Amino acid sequence: MSTPRPTTAVSRRTAIAGLSAGGAGLALAAITRKTAAQDATPAAMAGHPLVGTWIVDRNPADPSDMPTTNVLTADGGLTDPSVGAAGVWNATGERTADFTLIAIFAELNSYFLVRGTLEADDTGDTATAMASQTHVSTDGTVLDQAPASKSTYIRLRVEPTDAVGQPFAKFPAWIPATPSPATPTS
C-alpha cells in the first residue's frame, strides 16, 4: 500500500521561498518606516542660517558679563559647552527659531532654564536673541527669574593657520570679575 500524498503539499523549497519573500517584505517595510521617520525631520533645518557655532554676548550692556558659546546642530540640538548646558531649537522661519536650554547644577540642587527666540541677519554672520531665564530648585520652586533680554550672536568661522598671534576680530571684550578678598578667620 502506498501513502497518498496531499495535492496541496508545500515543498521545502516553496516554504523557504515564501519565508524569504515575507522577510524581504518586512525588511522593506522597516526601511520605508525608517526613511519616513528621517524625512519627518524638517529638511529646512540642515540649511538654516542658525546652524553652526556662535559666540554669544549674553548681556551686551554689561562689560563684566563673560561671553559664552552656543552650537546649533542641523537635527535640532543646542549646546552651550562653556556652561555645560544642553537644549533644543526649532526653526520658525527662514532666519528665525525658538529654543530652550537647560543647565543642571547638582551642587546647588537646581536647574536653570533659558527660553528664547533667535533671528539671524541677512548675512548669517550675526544674530540676536531675546531670552528669559528661570532658576528652579529640585522640588520645583522657582528661585529666581529674569524677563526676556537681548543677546548678540557672532558666527565662529574657520580662520587661517597664519592668523597666529591675532585675536578673533569680533570676539566681545569683557572685564573679568575680580574675586572678593578672603575674609579673615579668627
Q: What is the pLDDT of residue 61?
A: 87
Does 100 lie in the same domain as 19?
no
Domain co-membership, 19 together with 104: no
Query: What would the DSSP string read from start to end of 111-155?
Result: EEEEEEEEEE-TTSSEEEEEEEEEEEETTS-EEEEEEEEEEEEEE
- Is 126 in the same domain as 138? yes
Residue 136 within a domain: yes
**92, 107: one domain:** yes
pLDDT tens-place string over residues 74-96:
999 999 999 999 999 999 999 99
Residues 64 and 30 in one domain: no
Q: Burial of 153 by CB count in 10 Å (0-12 exposed, 13-18 middle, 19+ buried)? A: buried
- pLDDT tens-digit profile, the chain (186 residues): 444 444 444 444 433 344 344 443 433 334 333 333 334 355 658 899 999 999 999 988 888 889 999 999 999 999 999 999 999 999 999 999 999 999 999 999 999 999 999 999 999 999 999 999 999 999 999 999 999 999 999 999 999 999 999 998 888 888 887 766 665 555
Residues 65 and 147 in one domain: yes
On whether the CB atoms of residues 60 and 131 are closer than 8 A, the answer is no
> How many domains in the chain?
2
Shared-domain flag, residues 37 and 50:
no
Say how many CA atoms lie within 13 Å of 92 toward its Cβ.
Answer: 11
Whether 135 maps to a domain, the answer reads yes
Residue 84 near residue 103 (C-beta atoms within 8 A)? yes
Name the residue type at position 131. Answer: A
**164 part of a folded domain:** no
Range of the domain at 132: 46-158
Task: Give the H/E segment covering residue 22.
Answer: helix 12-40
